Amino acid sequence: MSENTKVILDEKFIPTQWYNILPDMPEPLAPVINPNTGKPATADDLRPIFPMALIEQEMSQERFIPIPEPVREVYKLWRPTPLYRAKRLEKMLGTPARIYYKYEGVSPAGSHKPNTAVAQAYYNKEAGISRLSTETGAGQWGSALALAGSLFGLEVKVFMVKISYQQKPYRRSLIQAWGATVVPSPSTETNAGRAILAQDPDSTGSLGIAISEAVEEAALREDTNYALGSVLNHVLLHQTVIGEEALLAFKEMEDYPDVVIGCVGGGSNYAGLAYPFMRERLLNGKETEFIAVEPEACPTLTKGVYAYDYGDTGKMTPIMKMHTLGHTFVPPGIHAGGLRYHGMAPSLSALVKHGLIEARAYHQNAVFDAAVTFARAEGFIPAPETAHAVKAAIDEALKAKETGEEKAILFNFSGHGHFDMAAYDAYFAGKLEDYSYPEEKVQEALEHLPKVE
């Protein structure tokens, strides 16, 4: 085993291909349904809001998809990202386990989100699009797309969930620094936003509502396409640069993970790290375990149903088979804003259903406990979303301490918490609530699931 604290590969080792897990799934994904026809969605259904190259990726059965050179050029601004061995944390925990993390906090936006943002900006620019619309929760995705827009010369408009817009002004400022426009959602600028405000003028918004607004704007404007930060196949596959780099870095570390952990909101950061390791399990017999971690306040995988549902509240998107809490579900205002989504990526949902990925949920105080332990051992401050993965990694390491097992634990450090210090403040002040799962509300939301034959 290497004695290194970290491995950072030279930029020539940035992957030249993304990995598409679809051909390697235990069974084909259920088709995406067009809600107007009730039939499987076609490429034409998606053309008003996506460029053809991304639609092809969305539906591709090719295992590997070449990364365009201009996208790799931009990746060089921060990739390959470091793979760390958390030696100081291991020592603090007194565990025989080896803990590794892939650190995505080095990107200009401080998270993994630019990995797909730059790819989406590139393909839209190539297709002659001049403007992108999107939604953002905590602001990680909105800032990443603003960055990508500035690097490829595209205008970007971000619908930001109102509660985050108010509570996280600095992520909003970051979006503006990269030249994008940001409006609080629900807004009066779209039919979807106005409909919500008519029902509830004080709505603090949700990711589902903001998606409806952004999709509507893209559908109605010729010059504008839509960009999504998670859930869809093409988004998840762009993130696989994380896992492909990790595979190479583990060769340098002369080790291999026994368990791969990540937090899940829509699923993209976790899929990005995990899918290349899942390929090694499915095709090459590597015996790796997989753990996806979500908040107890929005327990899509652990307490939702596996069913067809809309991706957004306004029912603008196609219907997908996935784990869902219902498209009308509005999760409580936990600080891990990026994990407040009612649905989950269809491919990741299917892997959970097939028992290939274990799902786990934690309350936010326990998650912040883990984050502070980590920060005081390793220095880096995790984003509240990332802290969910940290919590599971620490739990696994403590379990290994009990059993004496020398296992290798890998988790995705998806983003730093420098924009989330108000959440840490609330935690230290004892003001974080451990929201219980609002059972009745979910039952109510599940009654609105669309009927699909």
Which residues make up the interface to a copy of itself (CB under 8 A)? 4-6, 8, 10-11, 73, 76-78, 84, 88, 106-110, 114, 147, 150-151, 169-171, 173-174, 176-179, 372, 375-376, 378-381, 416, 418-419, 421-422, 424-425, 428
Residue 399 burial class via C-beta count within 10 angstroms: exposed 0-12, middle 13-18, buried 19 and up:
middle
* Min dist. Cβ of residue 177 to a copy of itself (A): 5
d(CA 322, CA 353): 9
Nearer to a copy of itself, 151 or 259 (CB): 151
Nearer to a copy of itself, 50 or 178 (CB): 178
Nearer to a copy of itself, 156 or 352 (CB): 156
* Min dist. Cβ of residue 100 to a copy of itself (A): 14
d(CA 316, CA 48): 12
Nearer to a copy of itself, 234 or 416 (CB): 416
* Min dist. Cβ of residue 167 to a copy of itself (A): 12
100, 104, 392 from 372: Cα distances, Å: 17, 18, 14
CB 329 within 8 A of CB 307: no
* Min dist. Cβ of residue 381 to a copy of itself (A): 6
For the record, the structure tokens of 257 come out as 């993970």
Nearer to a copy of itself, 147 or 237 (CB): 147
* Min dist. Cβ of residue 116 to a copy of itself (A): 15
d(CA 86, CA 95): 11
Strand pairing class (131-136; 155-161): parallel
* Min dist. Cβ of residue 206 to a copy of itself (A): 24
Nearer to a copy of itself, 334 or 381 (CB): 381
Residue with the two structure tokens 């109510």: 444
For the record, the structure tokens of 147 come out as 């960055």
What is the Cα Rg of the chain in Å? 20
Nearer to a copy of itself, 173 or 436 (CB): 173
CB 384 within 8 A of CB 423: yes
* Min dist. Cβ of residue 330 to a copy of itself (A): 27
Nearer to a copy of itself, 79 or 327 (CB): 79
d(CA 166, CA 205): 11
Q: Can you say whether the dihedral through the CA atoms of 48, 52, 53, 57 is positive or negative?
A: positive
Q: Which secondary structure element, helix H or strand E, spans residue 195, and what is its range?
A: helix 191-199
Residue with the two structure tokens 């799902």: 359
d(CA 88, CA 375): 10
* Min dist. Cβ of residue 160 to a copy of itself (A): 14
Residue 236 makes CB contacts below 8 A (sequence gap 6+) with 21, 230, 267, 268, 271, 272, 275, 345, 347, 348
Nearer to a copy of itself, 7 or 46 (CB): 7
15, 327, 358 from 265: Cα distances, Å: 25, 14, 15
* Min dist. Cβ of residue 207 to a copy of itself (A): 22
For the record, the structure tokens of 379 come out as 């220095």
Nearer to a copy of itself, 275 or 380 (CB): 380
SS3 72: helix
* Min dist. Cβ of residue 84 to a copy of itself (A): 8
